[in-house]
Amino acid sequence: MRVLFVYTDINVKGGAKSYHFGLGILSSVLKKAGHQTQLRYMFDQWDPEGLLKHISDFKPDIVGYTTDSSQVRHVKKLAAMVRPTGVFQIAGGTHPSLYPQFLENAEGLDAICVGEGETVILKVVEALEKGGDYRTIPGVWARNSDGSLIKNPPGYFIHELDQIPFGDRDMFDYQKIVDSDYDRATFMLSRGCPYNCNYCGSPAMGRLQEGKYVRFRSVENGIAEIKDVVTRFKVKNIFFADDVFTIDRKYVKDFCDAYTREIDLPFEVTTRVESANYDTFKNLADAGCTRVAMGVESGSEELRRKVLNRKMTNGKIVQAFADARKAGLKTKSYNIVGFPHETRQMHMDTVEVNRRIEPDSLVCYIFNPYPGTALHRISIEAGFLSPDFLDEDFISRTDTPLTMPQFTREDILDCYRNFAFNVYREKSLKKALIYKMYYSRHGERLIRMMDKLKKPIRKLAMGV
């Protein structure tokens, strides 16, 4: 069977191409079973004509999409345009998993996958190949002949991650992705997150299926994939995209020991202030880690506790960033503005906390209430979001869909565009002005026009 995967990466702030772990693994699973796969990657540009030509040339039996809430409007339009070709179409990812009822209005799709897709996609392909009924497969939502939905419960989480083949990076023309992302290769050593933040889809994903949600690959398996990738591609540094890299400190120590012996490339990680300490940061630094990113999200302890379900104190945040710096690591903070019940003063608390922790770099997003999350429900209950808010209205994390009397859209956009400037203006006017340009109304367009200067600008702003 021939499977064409479609990855839309449109209007995503940052300008770097990205490797999709899920699609890479699904491709490897199918190729291992004797099937053929190709990828249509729509990076930054809406290109339905290119997809239709790809379908005409490759003649796939199946077109498979991945989508989150920021991309679902593109996927729905593409599926409708592909529908006349008669090819079977299925979608997976966080949006179909957390908001599967979107299939009702996604007329071009034949089915969606709810939950992890490795087992599901193989069973669907085999069923279609043999003329069987894919509509009974666990994890598949599909349609009856009368248009009503068939809603199969998801299967079990995959217990042993080492059983999953390495992702198919060749399908992505991976060297171009590395070159686009500052010569960096990305990896994941785990799945799942043990925390229950109200704004995040991970807790809901963890409740979808039976079995253990937080799982780790063995150190040996992770090192083997890294060695394979850095041998085949020109890579200068590595980023581990795990939700929380340091939740198992013994694993971190064992991995760092092996990484030092066998890889020895600089790398970066993301973690949480609650799950790391100086000793862990020192282990990372000694193994070649150059930067650690941690979420502040909001500087208001009250908002974090009552709305976000983040219980750490500002003192703990300050200590974690200080410990990382003491260990010799650069730091990066993640921040969000526009939460339900937030006020402008609460946002200024976020500015103040970032001034105290002095991160070498930072990111700010505008909150979006992703379906399936607690804050999606809270936003509706508070009257900040219409119950009829449809998935096609998601426009990424650079605007707000909430209507709040105490924090207007104009105020939220103003806070978003000036956040980094307000954090850095007293310590480094140069850095503050670069961020001011980046987060301005036309900053993304300017950054893309200056693509050849992207690395020097990043060096000036972030120090890496």
Question: Could you read off the pLDDT tens digit of each residue along the chain, which spans 464 residues?
Answer: 999 999 999 876 666 789 999 999 999 999 999 999 999 999 878 999 999 999 999 999 999 999 998 899 999 999 999 999 999 999 999 999 999 999 999 989 999 999 999 999 999 999 999 999 999 999 999 998 888 999 999 999 999 999 999 999 999 999 999 998 999 999 999 999 999 999 999 999 999 999 999 999 999 999 999 999 999 999 999 999 999 899 999 999 999 999 999 998 999 999 999 998 999 999 999 999 999 999 999 999 999 999 999 999 999 999 999 999 999 999 999 999 999 999 999 999 999 999 999 999 999 999 999 888 999 999 999 999 988 776 555 656 678 999 999 999 999 999 999 999 999 999 999 999 999 998 988 776 676 666 555 566 655 555 55
Amino acid at 309: N
Residues 84, 89, 95: CA angle, nearest 5 degrees: 125
Residue 145: per-residue pLDDT: 87
Q: Which amino acid is at 41?
A: Y
Residues of each domain in the chain carrying CATH 3.40.50.280: 2-151
Q: Does domain 182-462 have CATH number 3.30.70.380?
A: no
Residue labelled with tokens 């301005």: 440
Residue pair 270/245 in contact by the 8 Å Cβ criterion: yes
Phi, psi (rounded to 5 degrees) for 343? -125, 170
Task: Supply the pTM of this predicted model.
Answer: 0.93
Within the chain, all domains assigned CATH 3.20.20.70 are found at 182-462
pLDDT of residue 11: 74
Residues 6+ apart with CB under 8 A from 286: 256, 260
CB 420 within 8 Å of CB 358: no
Each as own residue / partner, the long-range contacts of residues 399-407 (CB below 8 Å, 24 or more positions apart, any chain) are 399/366, 400/338, 400/366, 400/367, 400/368, 401/368, 401/369, 402/338, 402/340, 402/367, 402/369, 404/340, 404/341, 404/342, 406/341, 406/343, 407/338, 407/342, 407/343, 407/344, 407/347
Structure tokens at 281: 């940061």
Q: Is CATH 3.40.50.1000 the classification given to domain 2-151?
A: no
- What was the pLDDT predicted at 376? 95
